[in-house]
Amino acid sequence: MEKDAQLGIIILAAGKASRMGEPKALLTYQGNSFLLNTYNLAQSVHPKGIVTVLGHYFDQMSTHCNTHKIPFVLNEAYENGMSSSIQCGLTYLLSHFPQVNMVLILLADQPKINTEHISALLHKITSSNYLMVCTAYSSTYGVPAVFKKEYFSELLELKGEKGAKNLIEKGVLNHENTVLCEDGRIDVDTPEDYKNLHIEKEILK
């Protein structure tokens, strides 16, 4: 990253996981929990600060975070949707790491996102004048996405369950500020999704 880029990372893991029936972030893949894999991914790009936003299943999740030394914060308003978790995470980062001038948003339930993709997002935003760079997949756009500080006020005003989705779609410039990653479409919402993830892993062995 460029010399004056001060990156903060928010990992979103506050959801109810109602279709899964258990905390998705604690499911295992490649030997670790989804959350620990995501945290290791975040650490691999050497940010100034990382925070995981928790909500539902707080007791189980916080115990796991403490065991693996994953920094976390409780979003007491998590039932208001993903937007409230982004606000909670960004508020935490700006309070604890005021030098942060760029924020990367990750989900704990996208197990196939890798360091190469995150590095590509960061390279594109730090080597250009783009204020936002996001992931392109399945004819849509979403997270992981990285935002420069010019977006912070809008991120802090988000409302609803869609999180930064509308902000991302509004900010896409003819695909130019995107990085393709079809594996980004693979999130795990149901037991069937989780089963298919492991079936695919066995096929690819």
10-25: per-residue pLDDT in tens? 999 999 877 787 889 9
Burial degree of 41 (CB within 10 A; 0-12, 13-18, 19+): buried
pLDDT over 90 percentage in the chain: 75
pLDDT at 130 (0 to 100): 97
Say if residue 205's pLDDT is above 60.
Answer: no
Phi and psi at residue 84, in whole multiples of 5°? Answer: -65, -30
The rounded radius of gyration (Å) of the Cα atoms in the chain is 16
pLDDT tens profile 125-140: 999 999 999 999 978 9
DSSP for the chain, written as a single string: --TT--EEEEEEE----TTTTS-GGGSEETTEEHHHHHHHHHHTT--SEEEEEEBTBHHHHHHHHHHTT--EEE-TTGGG-HHHHHHHHHHHHHHH-TT--EEEEEETT-TT--HHHHHHHHHHHHTSS-SEEEEEETTEEEEEEEEEGGGHHHHTT--STTTTHHHHHHH--TTTTEEE-GGGG----SHHHHHHHHHHHHHT-
pLDDT tens profile 74-109: 999 999 999 999 999 999 999 999 999 999 999 999
Q: Provide the pLDDT confidence category of residue 2 given band limits of 50, 70 and 90.
A: low
Question: What is the CB-side half-sphere exposure of residue 146 using CA atoms within 13 A?
Answer: 30
pLDDT at 194 (0 to 100): 87
Residues 6+ apart with CB under 8 A from 12: 53, 82, 85, 86, 89, 105, 106, 107, 108, 163
Say if residue 142's pLDDT is above 60.
Answer: yes
pLDDT tens profile 39-80: 999 999 999 999 999 999 999 999 999 999 999 999 999 999
Domain ranges (residues) in the chain: 7-203
Q: Provide the pLDDT confidence category of residue 203 given band limits of 50, 70 and 90.
A: low
pTM for this structure? 0.93
Q: Average the pLDDT over 101-121 and give the result.
A: 95
| CATH C-level class of 7-203 | alpha beta
Distance (Å, rounded) from C-alpha 37 to C-alpha 42?
A: 9
